[in-house]
Amino acid sequence: MTTSVVVKNATKRFTMSNQNTVRRLAINAIKGLPLSKSFTALDDISLTLEQGDSIGLLGLNGSGKSTLLKLISGVMTPDGGSVLTRGRIAGLIEVGAGLHPDLSGRENVYLNGAILGMSETEIDRKFDSIIAFSELEKFLDTEVRHYSSGMFMRLAFAVAVHTECDIFLIDEVLAVGDQPFRKKCMRRIRELKQEGRTMVYVSHSPAQVLSLCERGLVLEAGRMVFQGTAEEAVKAIGYTVDDESDDD
Amino acid sequence: MTTDVAQPETVAPLVNPGSSGGLLEVYRRRYLLKLLVQKELRVRYQGSPVGLLWSYIKPAVRFIMYFWVIGLLLKNNLPDRALHIFSGMIFVSFFTDAMTSGSKSIVKNKSLVRKINLPREMFPVASVMVTVYHLLPMYLILLGGCFLSGWHPDLLAGVAAVMGLAIVLLFGLGLALLLSAWNVYFRDVGNIVDVIQTVITWTVPMIYPFNLVMQKLAHAHTAIYEIYLSSPLCIGVLLNNRAFWTPASATPKATAHQNLPANLFERGAIMIVLGVLFLWFAQVTFARLEGRFAEKL
């Protein structure tokens, strides 16, 4: 087994300086008021994943799940502790961000693919598979601005699930699209997992966490309150498993 | 469906996912850079009936203003005055465009910068490259004007052209990197760019000839004269004058002697070295500031 992700005592603080005009700064300095407020989004989190592990991150809104995911993806750097990863990272995180409304579907596949780290030959090779997945064959040369929101997400998803990677991150994205498409996404994610990718999955849905992940981690106000199997984690946070699974 | 986990022969090392190779990484991912430049060229004037032509109308109007207003009112009878203005103006336009679009580039792409881990230098570099793309037709127009005016370039003219371009590229890219990063923290940068734009328009020999500067400053106010010549853009413009304007005059030697500073090439060489250092400084500063981009945007 090779280690895939090592998070060691990671801490992330956000500084909120609402007084960023020189005048406000001067007034606050004279009055002895704090110049900025800081808030600890993640406090001393440690986590080790082996290649092929899958872990669900559970927690209420604002508990730090997405911040932890951003540390692993490298978009943010920790203020304390360290984060180390092995191999290529990809994922379903705000998948629509790389699409440009003024470009056609075809151009967006290439642009978004390149943004997610694919090379030209890689995109060429996967182009047909991406389009088939998105079911947008007829709208390939239409500008994306004319797409419905469902079509938009389908295109973005199709590109994202085709990136070659060792670590795959998923952030609450499976609530979009109609049920057949959601099922298809879950199938694809399960395939990615079976191929041996490390998975980090942020979700509020206990059913999906249970069906996709072996392990679970519960965050509460930036602190890790539980780490163990997925079943125990769902119990620890007190969620009830209802019938919302998108499994076949 | 293709099922290929990226699995290199040797196992990749554990690395910090947030570290980036900076400009080298931009070069490694030049396919993405190419697509970003193409996208920018496509969408910059989206929904505008005149479209890409705006990139040429704006400098054309500026040129006409300088040529007629200053020419008529100041009765400036410099030989080949149009070439003199234009050889300077293409650099001033390039520089201001690179600063303006470069400084906005990170903030404009905040949805990507906040969510996806890619070399952030990509965005200022792409916007500078779009500006370079607009510079190419300007060179063609300049060369056309040169041939109409009887341009006889010598070897040094070619050297001057390359040196001048190198200087504005190095400093333009460096400023774009710096300003784009600062703009994330302080949204005053747009106004700073406006101020710099005004300053550089009047501190290069474009609207007026350099011989005026020599007459008034070279001996009477040596310090101010040296400050004037310490501007990279000024040296760039003077080198471009040497490349395209003085070789087109009837008496190239005399025109150059009257309108260019002594040791122009030495000054140019020093400026290129400073430009490399400045770009390095900009890259280091950018790398230091980008750690907090995702949360500041």
Residue with tokens 């470009």: A103
Burial letters for A110-125: b for 16+ Cβ neighbours within 10 Å, e otherwise?
bbbbbbbbbeeebbee
CB contact under 8 A, B117 and A85: no
Report pLDDT for A18: 58
A47 with A67: CB under 8 angstroms? no
- Rounded to the nearest angstrom, the minimum Cα separation between A120 and chain B is 7
B265 with B156: CB under 8 angstroms? yes
B241 with B260: CB under 8 angstroms? yes
Q: Which two tokens stand for residue B142?
A: 């300049």
Measure the CA–CA gap between A217 and A224, rounded to whole angstroms.
7
- First vs last C-alpha separation in chain A: 31
In sequence order, the β-bridge partners of residue B78 are none
Query: Which chain B residue is nearest to residue A120, measuring alpha carbons?
Result: B31
Per-residue pLDDT reduced to its tens digit, A142-184: 999 999 888 888 898 899 889 888 999 998 666 666 788 888 8
> Which of A1-5, B182-186, B239-243 reaches the highest mean pLDDT?
B239-243
Measure the CA–CA gap between B254 and B110, rounded to whole angstroms.
53
Facing residue for B6 by CB, picked from A73, A88, A120: A88
- First vs last C-alpha separation in chain B: 37
Measure the CA–CA gap between A205 and A211, rounded to whole angstroms.
10
Would you say residue B294 has pLDDT above 90?
Answer: no
Query: Which chain A residue is nearest to residue B110, measuring alpha carbons?
Result: A97
CB pairs under 8 A between A and B: 110
Judged by average pLDDT, the poorest of A23-37, A122-136, B128-142, B253-267 is A23-37
Contacts of A191 in chain B (CB under 8 A): 1, 3
Q: Which two tokens stand for residue A200?
A: 């980090």
B138 with B93: CB under 8 angstroms? yes
The stretch B172-179 carries a mean pLDDT of 97
The stretch B58-63 carries a mean pLDDT of 89
- SS3 state of residue A15: strand
Would you say residue B120 has pLDDT above 90?
Answer: yes
- Rounded to the nearest angstrom, the minimum Cα separation between B292 and chain A is 7
Residue B1 banded pLDDT, cuts 50, 70, 90: very low
Report pLDDT for A149: 84
Residue of A77, A83, A93 to mutate when probing chain B, most B C-beta within 10 A: A77
Query: Which chain A residue is nearest to residue B8, measuring alpha carbons?
Result: A87
Q: Which two tokens stand for residue A201?
A: 């999955």
Measure the CA–CA gap between B182 and B197, rounded to whole angstroms.
17
Contacts of B12 in chain A (CB under 8 A): 86-87, 166
By percentage, how much of chain B surpasses pLDDT 70?
Answer: 95
Among residues A232, A169, A226, the alpha carbon closest in space to that of A197 is found at A169
CB contact under 8 A, B16 and A83: yes
A70 with A94: CB under 8 angstroms? no
Report pLDDT for B3: 47
Residue with tokens 């300086």: A17
Q: How many CB atoms lie within 10 A of CB B145?
A: 18
Report pLDDT for B96: 94
- From chain B, which residues contact A within 8 Å (Cβ)? 1-7, 11-19, 29, 31-32, 35-36, 39, 42-43, 46, 111-112, 114-118, 186, 291, 294-295
Query: Which chain B residue is nearest to residue A69, measuring alpha carbons?
Result: B115
Would you say residue B165 has pLDDT above 70?
Answer: yes
Would you say residue B40 has pLDDT above 80?
Answer: yes
- SS3 state of residue B215: helix
Q: Which two tokens stand for residue A196?
A: 């041996």
Q: Which two tokens stand for residue A73?
A: 């993806």
Residue with tokens 């949204």: B187
Report pLDDT for A10: 93
- Rounded to the nearest angstrom, the minimum Cα separation between A59 and chain B is 20
Report pLDDT for B45: 72
CB contact under 8 A, A114 and B32: yes
Q: Please report the ipTM that was assigned to this predicted complex.
A: 0.86
Facing residue for B46 by CB, picked from A102, A110, A165: A102
Judged by average pLDDT, the poorest of A43-52, B30-39, B54-63, B81-90 is B54-63
Q: Which two tokens stand for residue A180?
A: 């057949």
Element spanning A215, H or E: strand A215-220
Report pLDDT for B278: 98
Measure the CA–CA gap between B173 and B98, rounded to whole angstroms.
7
The stretch B15-41 carries a mean pLDDT of 90
Measure the CA–CA gap between B53 and B8, rounded to whole angstroms.
48
Q: How many residues does chain B have?
A: 297
Measure the CA–CA gap between B200 and B205, rounded to whole angstroms.
10
CB contact under 8 A, B43 and A102: yes
Measure the CA–CA gap between A181 and A187, rounded to whole angstroms.
10
- CA torsion A17-A23-A27-A33 (nearest 10°) is 0
| Low-confidence residues of chain A: pLDDT under 70 | 1, 17-20, 172-177, 241-248
Judged by average pLDDT, the poorest of B36-45, B70-79, B166-175 is B70-79
Q: Which two tokens stand for residue A235?
A: 């119990």
The stretch B119-137 carries a mean pLDDT of 94
Q: How many CB atoms lie within 10 A of CB B44?
A: 17
At a CB cut-off of 8 Å and minimum separation 6, what does A226 contact? A216, A217, A218, A232, A233, A236, A237
Query: Which chain A residue is nearest to residue B3, measuring alpha carbons?
Result: A195
Q: Which two tokens stand for residue B176?
A: 């774009």
CB contact under 8 A, B116 and A116: yes
Torsion over CA: B25, B28, B30, B32 (sign): negative
Residue with tokens 């945007």: B297
- CA torsion B132-B134-B139-B144 (nearest 10°) is 170
Query: Which chain B residue is nearest to residue A87, measuring alpha carbons?
Result: B12
Report pLDDT for A181: 84
Per-residue pLDDT reduced to its tens digit, A188-217: 889 999 999 999 999 888 888 888 899 999
Measure the CA–CA gap between B293 and B184, rounded to whole angstroms.
7
CB contact under 8 A, A77 and B291: yes
- Rounded to the nearest angstrom, the minimum Cα separation between B21 and chain A is 13
